[in-house]
Amino acid sequence: MNTMTEHTDWITGRGAFFISPEGEFINVSNTYHIQVITDNPAMFGLSLEHIRDTYSKHREKMNVEGKARAEIIKGVIEKGWIHIRKEVKSCWIINVWKLNETTRDKLALWAQSVLKGTMGVKELNCHAPVTIRTAHEVHECTVHQLGEGMV
């Protein structure tokens, strides 16, 4: 069952992804973004020692959703990673460092893919709201508009 049309157990109404600087989608819907980073620090250009030091600096336990997590995720976003999440009855929230043409292209492809169904996640509502947060701006649109490159 590796094609989109054969998939029957879609996650709908929620989802979570990273998009790598190279444009690879990483589904993190069944875990936490920070867990993926701590399990694979080299993939994000980090070391486990750096992650531990960051948690220690904030006096927090590893993988806790606090200040250390925010600092680590901000750091990977600065490196070109895209952080995407949606909770049930919420909008898609996308964090990017800059909303340039390359980022827009990656987001358009992601939106088109999630509307069709990708990696076990399918957005059933093409008008689902999206909030895109950059370092200095906030943009609002729908998944359909994002897929059409209207952002």
Question: Could you tell me if 81 and 94 are in contact, meaning their C-beta atoms sit under 8 angstroms apart?
Answer: no
Name beta bridge partners: 25: 19
Report which secondary-structure segment, H or E, holds 130: strand 129-133
From CA 21, how far away is CA 106, in angstroms rounded? 9
Q: Where are the domains of the chain?
A: 17-147
Q: Is the pLDDT of residue 56 over 90?
A: yes
138: three-class secondary structure by DSSP: strand
67-73 mean pLDDT: 97
pLDDT one-digit tens code per residue, 106-117? 999 999 999 999
- Say what the pTM is: 0.90
pLDDT one-digit tens code per residue, 82-129? 999 998 778 999 999 999 999 999 999 999 999 999 998 999 999 999
Question: Could you tell me if 111 and 150 are in contact, meaning their C-beta atoms sit under 8 angstroms apart?
Answer: no
Question: How is residue 118 annotated by DSSP?
Answer: B
Q: Which residue has the tokens 């069944």?
A: 30
Nearest to 138 by CA among 92, 106, 95, 78: 95
